[in-house]
Amino acid sequence: MVRTYTDKQLLDQVKALPDFKGYPKNRWIIGVRSNEDEPDRFDDKFYVYDHKKFVMVMTGTTNPGVSILKKFEQFNREGTAIVKPDNWYYDLWIYGLHRGKIPALLQRGNKISVYRDDNRDEKSDETGKLYSGYFGINFHLNSYNLDSEIKKEYIGNWSAGCQVPNDPKKYKILMDSFKGHSEKITYVLLTEFNP
């Protein structure tokens, strides 16, 4: 499981990134990708902020599931999408429905950068050619049941590049806070770091 950070550590880390243009004025999300990258496990974290004020943290994954890594051609023949870390993605998402079923944040704002992992092993590889575009990299729960109280341990088919929390209670609270708002939501993905 990825380490825990203080607000100052996270805010300083994202501010130090080369593409930093300022903290968003509204709610935004920091993903922290575990260095361990345990295959098919929810071992990452998402930190939610309102400008510079901490709102909540929840577990999840910033990596695809093993089943997708091994059969990527069903989504893209170039390989599985692995979001490039240590990057700001300003105004990336807007509130909507994932596959028309559950509230989610959809990539209908700006582009995102991904690597294409095509070696069919169980690890997410951040190597090779970098692609920038609209790939449907959404932020959604690992269930279609928002009332579930089960925090699943395994990613399975729930991520083919999407950023996926596995805490239904916190996720529902977060989605309720976006409901009825039209602003775009910014995302920053960090690699686990030593403060």
Is residue 119 in a domain? yes
Is residue 1 in a domain? no
**Confidence (pLDDT) at 110:** 97
Is residue 162 in a domain? yes
Over residues 87-110, the pLDDT tens digits come to 999 999 999 999 889 999 999 999
Q: Which residues contact 139 (CB under 8 A, 6 or more apart)?
A: 29, 93, 104, 105, 162, 163, 164, 165, 185, 187
Average pLDDT over residues 159-181: 94
Over residues 133-153, the pLDDT tens digits come to 999 999 999 999 989 888 999
Exposed, middle or buried: residue 186 (CB in 10 Å: 0-12, 13-18, 19+)? buried
**Confidence (pLDDT) at 181:** 83
Is residue 39 in a domain? yes
The band of 115, judged by pLDDT with boundaries at 50, 70 and 90, is very high
Domain count, the chain: 1
Q: What percent of the chain has pLDDT over 70?
A: 100
Other C-beta atoms within 10 Å of 23: how many?
16
Is residue 2 in a domain? no
Domain containing residue 115 = 7-191
Of 125 and 1, more confident: 125
Is residue 109 in a domain? yes
What's the pTM?
A: 0.95
Is residue 48 in a domain? yes
Is residue 152 in a domain? yes
Q: Are strands 185-191 and 87-98 parallel, antiparallel or unpaired?
A: antiparallel
Dihedral sign from CA coordinates of 40, 118, 157, 93: positive
Question: Is 182's pLDDT higher than 90?
Answer: no
**Cα–Cα distance, 151 to 165 (Å, whole number):** 9
